[in-house]
Homo-oligomer: A and B are copies of this chain.
């Protein structure tokens, strides 16, 4: 039969065992911290009705949604009725609207699942990638923002990050600023898209782009100047009630965070804009020095659930990007040695056909004591079986020939040192533990 294309689809990845172990380690740390903060797990389906997703992510986002063809008699119509989830926030908003009566007044959930975006694949950018989201629903208090920053800080510290910053800003502060420098409200959304590129293209580039987007050169210059000039910023922001209120919320988060693991991590960055359109209050983004782009971000989105429920429910969340965390941890060698363990603690070899049942019995005994055991699947030359174990970095091999069975013993070979010894059957697991800690 002809062989087929075997690579994963474009922008998709297979995760071999070592990859999965690294991913599971990071996911375990994240989920563990979130649980200590009282967040509960939620999962939503990969496929949503297409109208649930459309109109939530802006024009660019809409184009990147993977759409699923209708089935059966409708298949040939080319129509689509389902789509793969694009993020975990819109599904959360739908879930909160659907189960509002069953959920606690303050619903704190985490959700760690893949999302799909038909983006052009690039280094570190994939079409299937995991988001690790944590959100608090139901309160407008800045304790919510503070606890989210604290939880994210604790996750990153637990993973070994020492040099991250949580950049903090507020959508209303940006609005007050844009109004203050005389930019028409109709141009605010487009202006923020340009501001979002400051890190990439610098002040001259953003000035040019702001003007192209219809902002006067004078306003553009005043805006970019205010980002660099705290006195001027305070003046512009303080001039409006909206700006004053936003500045007070920023100050409150900074004060409260001092009592949490986010202490010293949060930095007010007035030019931080965040791409998504649904944010309504504080916005946050995690930066580390050697990564263009962020490890994650989030903010307050008090209007999104209302799009499903018809009634406004306050909400704030944070999303960590698993893939970027893994990239940085890999480059910096941050994984503990225990993550890359061998697939088994011992290989039980098969001496000959007659001894197979006794070898299986030994494997069962050891597994009952928590030892991870691989059984070589067929009787073969012992040397070949040992070589197989060594290639898989399995530290020990157990040999159970007719002689050993008669004596009630097992020969244990340490594949690193080549030492071997016969031990009574009942003390094999103890001997393996001793040997591996020696």
List residues of chain A with CB under 8 Å of any chain B CB: 1-9, 12-17, 19-21, 23-24, 35-49, 51-52, 63, 66-69, 71-72, 75-78, 80, 82, 84, 94-95, 97-99, 102-106, 108-109, 114, 116, 118, 127-128, 136, 138-141, 143-144, 146-147, 150, 154, 255-256, 258-261, 306-310, 343-344, 350, 356-358, 360-361, 363-364, 367, 370-378, 388, 391-392
Contacts and interface: CB of A to CB of B under 8 A. Distances in A.
- Which among A13, A350, A372, A391 has the highest number of chain B CB atoms within 10 Å? A372
- Which among A5, A14, A377 has the highest number of chain B CB atoms within 10 Å? A377
Given A51-B5, A76-B78, A260 B45 contact: no
B98 A7 contact: yes
Given A36-B370, A42-B17, A259 B308 contact: no
Leading 10 A-B pairs by shortest Cβ distance: A78-B78, A38-B374, A12-B45, A3-B310, A17-B40, A139-B377, A6-B98, A20-B41, A141-B378, A259-B357
B357 A1 contact: no
A411 B98 CA distance: 37
Contacts of A109: 17
A360 B150 contact: yes
Nearest to A2: B310
Given A9-B82, A104-B388, A146-B360, A1 B310 contact: yes
Given A8-B48, A143-B356, 20 more contacts: A2-B310, A3-B309, A5-B49, A6-B308, A9-B48, A14-B43, A15-B42, A20-B43, A36-B367, A38-B344, A45-B128, A46-B46, A106-B376, A108-B374, A138-B377, A143-B350, A256-B357, A259-B360, A259-B364, A260-B360
Contact of A3 (B1, B146, B308): B308
A144 to B, nearest CB: 5
